[in-house]
């Protein structure tokens, strides 16, 4: 009988955790702000007017989301660390520390390539995008206002500094 080590269940545990915490009212609000962020970025990348009403029509799913990146990192980790195998505790910890940049690099390049592809990328990234249905909620107009203000600050911090010094 094969020894159970739990590595293959990491993704399921992560998704389950996200689903359970998404039931809490405070986390639902955080997830609504996450949805507002995605809608705002989607509107910005489409060249749309950045008003809450306009932004509200965009998708709360985004191809380059950090949550999608995390699920890809988990999957790549399972593959890479399964290939190098087990061993002593020192070997397992050391190999994970040394190979973590490789895992992150592979994951980043995969997300980047999949985001730029209209065919294979859409298929490959679908499981990661599906996770966003758990980590985002439909935001209200007030949450969209906050996301738009944050984007404007990120795009033009000098303008906000000028506004603050005029007061």
Q: Is 165 within the bounds of a domain?
A: no
The pTM of the full predicted model, rounded to 2 decimals, is 0.74
* Residue-range definition of the domain harbouring residue 138: 7-146
Of 3-17, 61-75, 96-110, 116-130, the range with the lowest mean pLDDT is 3-17
Domain membership flag for residue 110: yes
Does position 159 have pLDDT exceeding 80, yes or no? no
Nearest-angstrom CA–CA distance, 31 and 50: 20
Query: Distance (Å, rounded) from C-alpha 61 to C-alpha 52?
Result: 17
Listed ranges 8-17, 46-55, 75-84, 117-126; the one with the highest mean pLDDT: 46-55
| Rounded Cα–Cα distance for residues 14 and 34 (Å) | 18
Tally of structural domains, the chain: 1
């Amino acid at each position: 009988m094969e020894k159970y080590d739990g590595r293959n269940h990491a993704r399921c545990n992560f998704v389950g955790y996200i689903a359970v915490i998404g039931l809490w009212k405070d986390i639902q609000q955080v997830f609504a702000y996450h949805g507002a962020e995605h809608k705002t970025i989607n509107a910005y990348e489409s060249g749309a007017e950045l008003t809450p009403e306009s932004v509200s029509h965009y998708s709360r799913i985004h191809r380059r989301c950090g949550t999608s990146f995390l699920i890809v990192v988990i999957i790549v980790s399972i593959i890479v660390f399964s290939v190098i195998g087990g061993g002593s505790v020192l070997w397992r910890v050391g190999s994970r520390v040394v190979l973590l940049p490789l895992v992150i690099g592979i994951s980043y390049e995969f997300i980047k390539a999949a985001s730029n592809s209209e065919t294979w990328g859409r298929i490959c990234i679908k499981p990661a995008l599906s996770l966003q249905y758990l980590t985002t909620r439909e935001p209200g107009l007030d949450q969209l206002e906050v996301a738009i203000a944050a984007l404007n600050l990120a795009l033009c911090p000098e303008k906000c500094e000028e506004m603050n010094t005029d007061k």
